Amino acid sequence: MFGGGGDACTMKRKELQEGKDAKDDAFASSDANHFEKRNWGLLIPGVVGGTLVALYAVATPFVTPALRKICLPFVPATSTQIENVLKMLQRRSGSLVDIGSGDGRIVIAAAKEGFRAVGYELNPWLVWYSRYRAWREGVHHTAKFYISDLWKVSFSQYTNVVIFGVPQMMLQLENKLQLELEEDTRVIACRFPFPHWTPDHITGEGIDTVWAYDSKSFQGSGKRCPEILSQRKKTHNRNISLSVKCEDLRLALLTSLY
């Protein structure tokens, strides 16, 4: 009798213990799920925030120039454009500067031809990438890249100047170069010519056209009749509106492809 009662008590205690263990397991599982959800709740905002910061860091150098009054959009030079620039540099030597050097294609190509080439670019990401490309191509000793605003740099020390410009900046850049450059300098304009200078050489067609100006073009242009210059400026301004629309459309198409 007593033995049977003891067994019943033992079984009852066992059932109670098992029930308690089950509740403890349920609480532990609930705590684990809550902890996991809390971790995910912290992780997801962290990842999103980090991504936004990274996008801001990468995009800011590209967007900031667009907020300036006059800027150079980054559109990589085509292989034909590079060939045309090098053609204009034949029988030339000395130093070369690419104003708005982008990813460094012109500077690196010129360095391979024996020039001491320098590129000025406002976008730091493009400058760092250009330096890497120059190192990879083995011309980092003669191809240098600097982060700088082209309007704050003097180009008087260079004997060859290359510019991939846009219509709204060519007149201002023409005046700047005319004041700074020496008599033995050659200026090579790509995509758009200078408004008042008469090119000594032209090669290519369409968007790949390249204009070369020797010293007689820009050293003598300051002596021209003011009335003629005024008329040419009016004509240039009319051409700008059409050229800007075409360039904006082309840039939009290139952006959609990227």
> Has residue 16 got a pLDDT over 60?
no
The least confident of 5-9, 48-52, 183-187 is 48-52
Give the orientation angle of helix 79-88 with respect to helix 105-112, to 10 degrees.
Answer: 50
Instruction: Give per-residue pLDDT as tens, 87-139.
Output: 999 999 999 999 999 999 999 999 999 999 999 999 999 999 999 999 999 99
> In angstroms, rounded to a whole number, what is the distance separating the alpha carbons of residues 159 and 9?
105
pLDDT at 234: 52
Query: What tokens were used for 213?
Result: 């100006």
Residue 55 is predicted with a pLDDT of 44
Q: Taking CA 246 as the corner, what is the angle to CA 241 and CA 248, rounded to the nearest 5 degrees?
A: 95
Instruction: Give residue 194's region: left, alpha or beta (phi > 0; psi -120 to 50).
Output: beta
What is the three-class DSSP state of 128? helix
Higher per-residue pLDDT: 147 or 219: 147
Which of 217, 213, 204 is closest to 160 using CA atoms?
213
CB distance 188 to 85 below 8 Å: yes
Q: What is the pLDDT of residues 219-246, one digit of tens each?
A: 665 544 454 445 544 544 454 454 444 5
DSSP bridge partners of 117: 96, 143
Instruction: Give me the residue spans of the domains in the chain.
Output: 1-67, 79-224
The answer to whether 121 touches 101, Cβ cutoff 8 Å, is: yes
CATH code for the domain defined by 79-224: 3.40.50.150
pTM of the model: 0.61
DSSP string, 133-192: HHHHTT-TTTEEEEE--GGG---TT-SEEEEE--HHHHHHHHHHHHHH--TT-EEEEESS
Instruction: Report the amino acid identity of residue 90.
Output: Q
